[in-house]
Structure 1
Amino acid sequence: MRVPNVEDSSGVSRADFADLRTEFSRFMMLYQFGISELMTKVNILKDEFTHINQYSPIEHVTSRVKSPDSILRKAQRLNIPLTIDDISKNIFDIAGVRITCSFISDTYRIAEMLTSQTDLRVIEREDYIADPKPNGYKSLHLIVEVPVFMSDRVRHVPIELQIRTIAMDFWASLEHKIYYKYNREVPVELLDELTEAAAAAHRLDVKMERLNDEFAKIKALPHPDDEILEQDLPAQFLEALHLQRRAL
């Protein structure tokens, strides 16, 4: 079914055009439902970490669905036929979820927890943290298929999942603004500075990860009074304490 487009709607009856618009609206709605499903999974992990460990590796979560105009422009740029079937089979970033984490290790930890869930299927994986883009861009990119349970069928919707640290996200946000301001024709000197800033952000990530590891080691050291206090704890409390220590 061809995507409705006012510019090429000549020869299409008003009833047919209305049907096309309805089908396209359902198509867009699927991606919003897919985001809702994935966001639920992410928020469950975040709440679980917060309540059990008093700490969550997930700092922020955002989501978006591309506008119809943006989808059509990308389809035209990639020479994809303007039909719903062709667009759904060839464009995988119509819907996106971005997770911002505290530390580099957390990005992989969250990715593993999500992709190990049996109802999610990984279609693509690009590790720009281990292998950054030439301009210094870092992020873990995944395309995952999310099941959406409709009234009469189950649809598997591709969602682009980006997982990055706060420093990576700050750099990417700045880079996006600069590229937008200069309409992608960024002066060479600014590109060089962006690359240097990416290296500085990486050094900050590495330093913060090291500091966090050192803090965890110190926190795991036994307190002088621990042995005396633990003798008076009920067995179930003692077991919970040991589990919490192993999680730190």
Structure 2
Amino acid sequence: MNQLSMNELKRFRNEITRFMMMYKFALDVMETRIGVLVEEFQFLHEYNPIEHTKSRLKSPESILNKLYRKGGDISFPGIRDHIKDIAGLRITCSFLADIYVISDMLKNQVDLTVLEEKDYIRHPKPNGYQSLHLLIEVPVNMSDGQERVCIEVQIRTIAMDFWASLEHKIYYKYKQDNQTVPARLLEELKGAANAASALDRQMERLHKEVEGIKEEQSEAAESRDNRIVISNQQFALPQAFLDLMDPNK
């Protein structure tokens, strides 16, 4: 009986380890893909739309607590059906337009499936929260076959991220003390969200103006340059390539 119990415990430990590893690998896949997209964008546009990324994996305890609140079955299929944010990836951008550029790049990945999109930028939450949320199904190749794993991707600006971090700290503090957040603080948080949104729009306008000037300068420089640079390696374009691009030939 003890031996059977030990075997059952080992089997369950292996199952939950594999289950959690699927989500960890899904985050690894997404971060690698985003790195590729950013590098491509950097070479082609001389601009990086992403400031930084941050990933997190819910603990088994946190998963079960959320499952209890949702009333789901205590099983791996029950968890997959009811808990969609076991793995989370936050992408922080400098400017508003970058958010939708990144979103479109992810949607164009043919083997990624966007299950749900919530745009809290165009439609902010009542408390002022802004961010773009995507539930994305990611293919993960395990040793015994491919799994389709759902992760939550949040894309936001630096200002949005700063506000969300502050709001979380305030709510966490009062929750720890079993108190509600005072109405005055809630009103100030909403005002701060409006200020952050106004800052984002102003920075967006400045960015577009600067990019317009850079584009004009870049076009003038490129007309005199017959090189390409990839990973710090310079390659001279053969004359045959240049002839192909010349409309007069």
The TM-score bracket by the shorter chain reads 0.7 to 0.9
Partner of residue 178, structure 1: 170
Aligned with residue 117 of structure 2, among 125, 130, 133: 125
State the number of aligned residues: 225
Name the CA shift for 1:30/1:201 in 2 (closer, same or farther; >3 Å). same
| Amino-acid identity (%) | 50
TM-score by length of 1: 0.84
Structure 1 residue identity aligned to 2:117: R
Unaligned runs of 5+ in 1: 1-11, 241-248
Query: Separation in 2 of the partners of 1:233 and 1:80?
Result: 62
Deviation at 1:55, TM superposition (A): 1.6
TM-score by length of 2: 0.84
Partner of residue 38, structure 1: 30
Structure 2 residue identity aligned to 1:54: E
CA contact (8 A) 2:117 2:133 kept: yes
Deviation at 1:31, TM superposition (A): 0.3
Partner of residue 207, structure 1: 202
Deviation at 1:220, TM superposition (A): 3.4
Query: Separation in 2 of the partners of 1:163 and 1:43?
Result: 15
Name the CA shift for 1:126/1:234 in 2 (closer, same or farther; >3 Å). closer
CA contact (8 A) 2:72 2:78 kept: yes
Deviation at 1:222, TM superposition (A): 5.8
Partner of residue 157, structure 1: 149
Aligned with residue 131 of structure 2, among 121, 133, 139: 139
Q: Please identify, of 92-101 and 81-90, the stretch whose mean Cα deviation from structure 2 is larger.
A: 81-90
Aligned with residue 82 of structure 1, among 71, 74, 78: 74
Query: Separation in 1 of the partners of 2:31 and 2:211?
Result: 29
Partner of residue 217, structure 1: 212
Partner of residue 184, structure 2: 189
Deviation at 1:21, TM superposition (A): 1.7
Query: Separation in 1 of the partners of 2:36 and 2:114?
Result: 20
3-state secondary structure, aligned to 2:121? coil
Q: Which runs of 4+ in 1 moved over 3 A?
A: 220-223, 232-237
Query: Separation in 1 of the partners of 2:23 and 2:226?
Result: 50
Unaligned runs of 5+ in 2: 228-236, 243-249
CA-atom RMSD in angstroms: 2.4
Deviation at 1:219, TM superposition (A): 2.8
C-alpha deviations, 1:40-82, integer Å up to 9, x for none? 1111112222334332000101101101111011001111121
Structure 2 residue identity aligned to 1:99: I
C-alpha deviations, 1:71-98, integer Å up to 9, x for none? 0110011111211110011111000111
Partner of residue 8, structure 2: 16
3-state secondary structure, aligned to 2:161? helix
Structure 1 residue identity aligned to 2:137: E
Structure 1 residue identity aligned to 2:134: L
